Amino acid sequence: MERRKEELSKDTYVVVVVNIKTKEIIALEVTDEKVHDGKVIKQMIEQILNNNHNIKIKSFLGDGAYYSNENFKYLQKKRIRTINKVKRNSNISTKKNNKIRNREVGFQIKDYHKWKKKRKYGQRWMLKQCFHL
């Protein structure tokens, strides 16, 4: 699953979720510039799970806009693997009590290119393919 934010006008955006295997759009959300990408992920995943009973979301690929402890916890609760680029200044935190987040932060800090290859983060390019049909 991947998302893309397309600018329609100065203050209207479309956030798109794509099945990276089939390149089909499976969710779409129109927002304004005041709504951060990371804030719409929960409702979009719920929309997919409620409307498409035959879809099982195994992983979520997202850029730094989706990086938040809240999103890591939500995806962990839904048993969705998080393949999320973390912010450059991220560090492992004992206070946040999120093992998956800490593991991903540690892996990316240690060797970002190895993390990217192992997690197949490069598959995000497939999102662009669905717009070039």
89 has a pLDDT exceeding 50: yes
Domain ranges within the chain, ordered by starting residue: 2-129
Run of H or E residues at 50: helix 37-51
pLDDT at 133: 41
**pLDDT 10s digits, 57-75:** 888 887 777 778 888 888 8
Residue 109 CA, chain-centre distance (Å), reads: 19
Q: Which fold has domain 2-129?
A: Nucleotidyltransferase; domain 5 (3.30.420)
* Most confident range, picked from 75-79, 88-92, 104-108: 75-79
**Could you give the C-alpha distances from 66 to 5, 38, 133, in angstroms and in order?**
12, 4, 27
Q: pLDDT by residue (tens digit) across 110-132?
A: 888 898 888 877 766 665 555 54
Q: How far is CA 42 from CA 70, 98, 105, in A?
A: 10, 18, 21
Confidence check: pLDDT of 107 > 80: yes
